[in-house]
Amino acid sequence: MSPFDAAGPVRVVVVDDHAGFRRALVASLSLVNNLEVAGEAGDGEKGCETVLALKPDAVLMDMSMPGISGVDSMRRIHRREPSVPVIILTAHADEALEREALAAGAARFIAKGGGLWELVGSILEVVQPQVEDQIGSA
């Protein structure tokens, strides 16, 4: 049994304005053992509301969305819930955007073209300290 089994499923919120990509990602993540898609949103504003209401273990956030960007959404979330790791997903991977996202507090910066297991591995890596804290305090 892994530490993740003892702590329950890892709860994730997916925020992306491209409905088709979001649906496909949610469907793919739903097939992964010990991962639960707790919620989803199609823009940064709704993403902030969803994350603050559900308090997930991690957030997958698109970088470029209409209204407020993924980085600005992440900043809003971190003002209220600083310990929630946010993984920024982007179709526009470049070093300047990556530096901006990481400097603003992103736990990871991942290109959308990567594989599912790369993404799952990143989710598990960023939540592992939280899982260890839960087990240690149990």
List pLDDT tens digits, range 107-132: 999 999 888 999 999 999 999 865 44
Say whether pLDDT at 55 is over 70: yes
Contact between 2 and 33 under an 8 Å Cβ cutoff? The reply is no
Count CB neighbours of 81 within 10 A: 15
Report the candidate in 96, 137, 98, 131 with the shortest Cα–Cα distance to residue 9.
131
List pLDDT tens digits, range 19-32: 999 999 999 999 99
- Return the percentage of the chain with pLDDT > 90, whole number: 76
Say whether pLDDT at 7 is over 90: no
- Return the percentage of the chain with pLDDT > 70, whole number: 88
- The residues, ordered by sequence, that sit 6+ positions from 88 with a Cβ below 8 Å of its Cβ are 61, 62, 63, 70, 71, 74, 101, 106, 108, 109, 110
Q: Which amino acid is at 102?
A: L
| Residue-range domains of the chain with CATH | 8-133 (3.40.50.2300)
Q: Is the pTM of this model over 0.95?
A: no
